[in-house]
Each structure stands twice: as structure tokens, then as C-alpha cells.
Amino acid sequence: LCSILNNLVLNITFVRPEKFYISGFSNIPHTQYFYVFLCFVYVMTVIGNVFLLSVICLVRTLHSPKYMIVFNLALIDLCGSTALIPKVLDTFLFDRRFILYEACLSNMFFVMFFSSLQSWTLACMAYDRFVAICLPLRYHSIVSKRSVAVILLCMWLIILFVAAFTVGNINRLSFCGSLEVQSFYCDHGPLNRLACNDRSINDVMAYIGLILFICIPFILIVITYLCISIALSRIASKVERLRALKTCSSHIILVVTFFIPLFATNIAAVVSYLHPNIRIINSCWTHTIPSLLNPIVYSLKTEELLNAIKKLFQRNRITKIESKQSSPWKRVEKKRERYTIVRRSQKL
């Protein structure tokens, strides 16, 4: 009876707070150095991803299905870092820990949306490598520009709907107790636990999000690499085997940097007690470092992209030399034109 009465009281007194308090990185010494490092990470992430996007746009040989997926990943990394890091720096570096309710939900949506897109884009890359190695003769018919565009569009729309529905369900929660979010941004889990009323739908959506955006992409990537390893074992030549494996090396590095810290944090939290500050720092690494590493890894490890960058710089160098060489001749021609105009005017 008491529980029924409490539920009735909570339903009657629905509380939607004006602001939340972000309490991450509390009682950690020398955090200002970490914030400076985060600032450096963001600047380098923007430079690296903008450079990668520019190279893919400018070099025609990179206008292929594979680099459509790489372009998509670079765009997601750029947008995801912009949605998270500037707000984290504003919150902790300038001590503006109170965040408006609407701003908190929008921050949660964009971080959830772009991190989910990142995991599924890595799964799309694994699919591309699977077809290239296991079905090489049918690669161009299966992985076409049209099919990749359809896959990426469907991915964006489905994740947009799920993320919007998950964040939208926060509006049905009443926050009558503590307003302290124990994270470095408006994280769904810590915010959801602050609710006073029934949050079973929100818990279900959290589990669905975990399965859809982390578990399924990772399982698909593991399955594709098992198939790739079986296909590589059938190749007799060791050189050909290494060459095929080399095309997957950059993707494997990206998968490891994105999924391993994520799984390590969640498993450690389930198996034993994990200090909130350790969880927050690990979560911060997971959301920021992969976006920094992705353009570096693809620029250094992919031979096709390295050659494209070299060609782009050579083309710019040639155009500069040609413009320098042509400029004196242009001046002479302009002087001749002026001289002929003056002569004609004198004759008239």
C-alpha cells in the first residue's frame, strides 16, 4: 500500500528541473593538464579529419565505394568530437558545471548519435574488406557507389530514429531528488538513474541501444574477420596472404582503439567495483582518442591514400612553379598591349 501511495505522489508531483549539475573529474589532482591535452586532441582531430575529407574530395581516384565509407567515418569523427569536447572544456575548464535541461538532452543526443554511427561505420568497413578478400571477382558488382550510399543512408536514418526515441523518453522522467550527473557530459545512464518515477522503458531502450550500437556491430566485425582468415588460409602464396592482410591492418587498428576500451570499462564495472573517476576517464578516452587516430591511421597505413596525398602535393607544387614562370611573360604581354594602345591613340 505504501509503495502504491508513493507512486501516486510521484506521479502527481512531476518534476522537470531547469538545470543539471555535471560532477565529473571531481577530486582528481592536476586536471587542468588533462583539459589542455583534450584541447590539443580536439584541434588535431579537426585538422586531421578536415585534411582527410579534403584529400578524398580533391583526388578523383579516391571517389570509390571504399572511400565513401572512409569519408563518412571522417565526417562522423569531426562532428562527434565537436559535439563533445568543446562542451567538456567549457564545463570543466571554465567551471560552468550547471547545464540547462534542453541543452543537456541535445548534448546527450548528439554524442549518442555520432558514437553509434562510428561503430556501424566500422562494421561497414569490415563488410567492404570481407567482399574484397572473400569475393574479389564480384566486388565491383556488390560494393558499388549506389549500394554503399543506400547502406550509409539507412544507417543514418535508423540510428537517428533510435537515438531520438531514447533521448525523447527522458522527458517522461521526474527528477525530484539529486540533479548531480556523475559523468563528464550528459550521459544517458547516470542521468537515467536520477529519476524518481518508473524508468523501465528507459532501461529497456538503454539495453536495446547497447545491443544495437555496440554488441551487434562488434559481432559482425568478428564474423567478417573469421571469414577473411578462412579465405586467407586457402591462399598458397605467403606474399599474397600478407598483401591481403595489409589492406585490413588500418581497419583492425581502428576497431581495437574503439571497442577494446569500451568493453574493458563495461566488463570491469560488472565484475568488480570501478571508481567513478576511472570510469569517467576511460569513457572520455573512448569518445575522443579514436576520432584523433582514425585520420592518422588511414593516412599512414593505406598506400592508396598516401599516393593520393603525394600526387596532390606534387600537383600543387607544379601549379605554383607554372604560375611563377608564367607571371613575367604575362607582365611583358601587358606592357606590349599598353604600348600598342598608346601608339594607336597617338596616330588618331
pLDDT tens-digit readout, 326-339: 555 555 565 666 65
Tell me the per-residue pLDDT of 243-274, one tens digit each, with 9 for 90 and over: 877 878 888 888 988 888 888 777 776 666 66
| CA distance to 7, 174, 203, per residue, from 4 (Å) | 5, 17, 21
Site of grid cell 591462399: 235
**Listed range (117-121, 126-130, 211-215, 340-344) with the worst mean pLDDT:** 340-344
Residue 334: per-residue pLDDT: 58
Q: Please state, for a pLDDT cut of 90, what percent of the chain lies above it.
A: 34
Q: Which residue has the cell 591514400?
A: 305
Q: What is the DSSP letter of 196?
A: S
The residue length of the chain stands at 348
Range with top average pLDDT, 5-9, 205-209, 315-319: 205-209
Pair 98, 21: CB distance under 8 Å = yes
| 330 grid coordinates | 604575362
Q: Could you please report the per-residue DSSP string of 105-129?
A: HHHHHHHHHHHHHHHHHHHHHHHHH
pLDDT at 21: 92
Integer Cα distance of 158 and 317 in angstroms = 44
Q: Domains in the chain, please, with CATH?
A: 18-310 (1.20.1070.10)
- Which of the pair, 311 or 318, is modelled with greater confidence? 311
Per DSSP, what are the bridge partners of residue 19? Answer: 100
The DSSP secondary-structure symbol of 98 reads E
Cα torsion angle, 188, 190, 196, 198, sign? positive
Grid coordinates 581495437 are at which residue?
A: 256
pTM: 0.83
Say how far apart CA 45 and CA 293 lie, in whole Å. Answer: 8
CA–CA gap between residue 219 and residue 35 (Å, rounded) = 34
- For all residues of the chain together, what is the average pLDDT? 83
Mean of the pLDDT values across residues 29-57?
A: 90
For residues 291 and 81, the answer to whether their CB atoms sit within 8 Å is: yes
SS3 (DSSP) at 99: strand
Q: How far apart are CA 185 and CA 23, in angstroms?
A: 9
Integer Cα distance of 268 and 107 in angstroms: 26
One-letter amino acid for residue 244 of the chain = A
- Which pLDDT score, from 0 to 100, does residue 335 have? 61
**From CA 224, how far away is CA 247, in angstroms rounded?**
14
Question: With contact defined as beta carbons under 8 Å apart, do 232 and 133 qualify?
Answer: yes
pLDDT at 324 over 70: no
Q: Which three cell numbers stand for residue 43?
A: 584541434
Could you tell me the CA-to-CA distances from 7 to 13, 172, 175, 190, 196 in Å, in that order? 10, 14, 14, 22, 9
Question: Which pLDDT score is estimated for 5?
Answer: 45
